[in-house]
Structures are given as C-alpha cells and as structure tokens.
Amino acid sequence: MAEDVKTPAPAPPPEGEKPTAEKTAAAAPAAPVKPAAAAKPEGPVPVPWSSPLVEKYRSQYGSGLDAQTYLGQNYFSVDRSLIPDILRLLRDDEQFDYCVDITAVHYPKREKQFDVIWILYSFSRNERVRVKTQIADGASIPSSVLIWPTANWLEREVYDMFGITFDGHPDLKRILLPDGWKGHPLRKDYGILQQDQEWVQINLGIESGQ
C-alpha cells in the first residue's frame, strides 16, 4: 500500500473511468497537460511539500506517509493504519483544531476503491492541510468523532453517500437519505437517475420518483 501512495501521483488515478481520463496514468508525475485546451503558462505539478512538520512526521512514520503540495495546497497521503494517530497528532500538537470537512472520492477501477479526505484548518497557523487515505470497498476506518465532534455528521454523510463505515462512530446511520434506502448514490456505479424503487413505492405510494 505504501508504494501506491508514495508515488507522487496526483490524487485521482481514475483509470478509464471516463473516456477522457484514459490517458491519465496512475503514476504520472508530470501534470497532465495533454489537452490543448488549457492554455496555461505552466501546468501545475504536485511537488513534494517540505516543512518542519512534514520532516517530523516522516521521520516518525517513514513510508506510511507522503506530503505534497498542489497549487499551493498541502496534503498528506497516509496509510490507512496511521489514520487515527496522525489526525490526533495534527490536532493536539499542531493545532489543527478545526475539521473543515470529511469527504470521500470513489475510484471503482482501483483496488482500494475509496479516497477518504480530511480537510483541516488551524486557526493559530492560518493554514490548511488535507489528509488522504485509501481504503477498499467494505473496509472500515476509525471514526474521528472523538477528535473533532463536528465529524459526527460529516462521517454520517460519507457513510450515507459512499457506504464507508466508521468504527467507533456513536450513531452511524444515514443522514440525507431515508433510513431504509438501498445503495450509496455518490459511488460511481450508482446511476444519476437510479433510485431505490422499492422504497419509493412502499413509502411514497407512487410508482416512481422520476
């Protein structure tokens, strides 16, 4: 797993998910400047992010952690096993006291299908950082509700939309969709017109919600 993340791949390697994305190799270090369209002076490239913080963590965790900067935004790609520790450290030692968002991205073609992303902010440093990890479908991830109470609803939403379970979440259930709904709509294999017909028919008493 470490190898996956260590390669300085720009975040999404969605091999062939869309026809246009075909060309994007998973391990393309150079920014994909292939389309002629984007007439930019220089293609932005994720560059390694070096800072005392990164050095510290790298020495501590070694290969499980990788730090990059893309368009001036810093992010860690960390191994799934490091997740609760590194988040806690970031909050306790580095004052990333504000969890802006928790979200996920689905890459169905990948072995570990999901990226889970924490967007953190530190009031004292006025700095943002993203923490990313990859997990497989059906795998669970430790909840960060105890680190930031705000994670409660955010994790529920990720669960609702992607079906990623968070261990230790006090009340993991659907938040936006009704409780009995089947399917997780933000997965790529969930069609945009798709619905839980059964739920609609039983609960709304209509044939279809379309």
Partner 1 sequence: MSSHTNDTTNDVSSRALSNLDLETPAKPYLDSNELIINMGPQHPATHGVLRVILKLDGEKVLGTECVIGYLHRGVEKIAENRTYAMFNPYIDRMDYVAAVSNGLGYCEAVEKLLNVEAPRRAKYIRVILTELNRIASHQLWLGTHALDIGAMTPLFYTFRDREEILKIFEKYCGARLTTHAFRIGGCQYETYAGFEKEVKHFLTYVAPKIDEYEALLTTNRIWLERTKNVGMISAADAIALGVTGPVLRASGVQWDLRKAQPYAAYSEFDFEIPTGENGDTYDRYLVRMAEMRQSLRIIEQAVNRIPEGPIMAKVPKVIKPPVGEIYHSIEAPKGELGYFIVSDGSTQPYRVRVRPPSFVNLQALDRMVRGLLVADVIAVIGTIDIVLGEVDR
Residue showing tokens 């909050």: 91
Question: Shortest distance, CB of residue 195 to partner 1, whole angstroms?
Answer: 10
- Nearest to partner 1 of 98, 140 (CB atom): 98
Q: Which is nearer to partner 1, 81 or 174 (CB)?
A: 174
- CA-based nearest residue to 158, from 150, 1, 198, 86: 150
Q: Which amino acid is at 96?
A: F
Question: In angstroms, what is the minimal distance from the CB of 139 to partner 1?
Answer: 19
Q: Residue 12 or residue 81: which is nearer to partner 1 going by CB?
A: 12
Return the number of the residue (62 or 123) whose C-beta is nearest partner 1: 123
Handedness of CA 185, 188, 191, 196 (dihedral sign): negative
In whole angstroms, the minimum distance from the beta carbon of 31 to partner 1 comes to 5
Residue placing its CB nearer to partner 1 in the complex, 81 or 88 = 88
CB of 196 to partner 1, least distance (A): 13
DSSP string, 126-149: TEEEEEEEEE-TT-EEE--TTT-T
CA-nearest of 32, 47, 150 to 91 is 150
Q: Min. distance of Cβ 47 from partner 1 in angstroms?
A: 12
Q: Find the shortest distance in angstroms from Cβ 115 to partner 1.
A: 8
Q: How many CA atoms lie within 13 A of 144 on its CB side?
A: 30
Residues forming the site for partner 1 (CB under 8 A): 10-12, 14, 17-21, 23-24, 28, 31-35, 37-41, 43-44, 46, 70-71, 73, 97-101, 103, 105-106, 117, 119, 123, 126, 128, 130, 148-150, 152-154, 157, 161, 170-171, 174-179, 185-186, 188, 190, 192
Going through the chain in order, the beta strands assigned E by DSSP cover: 47-48, 65-70, 73-78, 98-106, 114-122, 127-135, 140-142, 165-167
Q: Give how far the C-alpha of residue 165 lies from the chain's centroid of Cα atoms, to the nearest Å.
A: 13
Provide the terminal-to-terminal Cα distance of the chain, rounded to the nearest Å: 42
Choice between 139 and 176, CB closer to partner 1 = 176
Q: Which two tokens stand for residue 66?
A: 């990788």
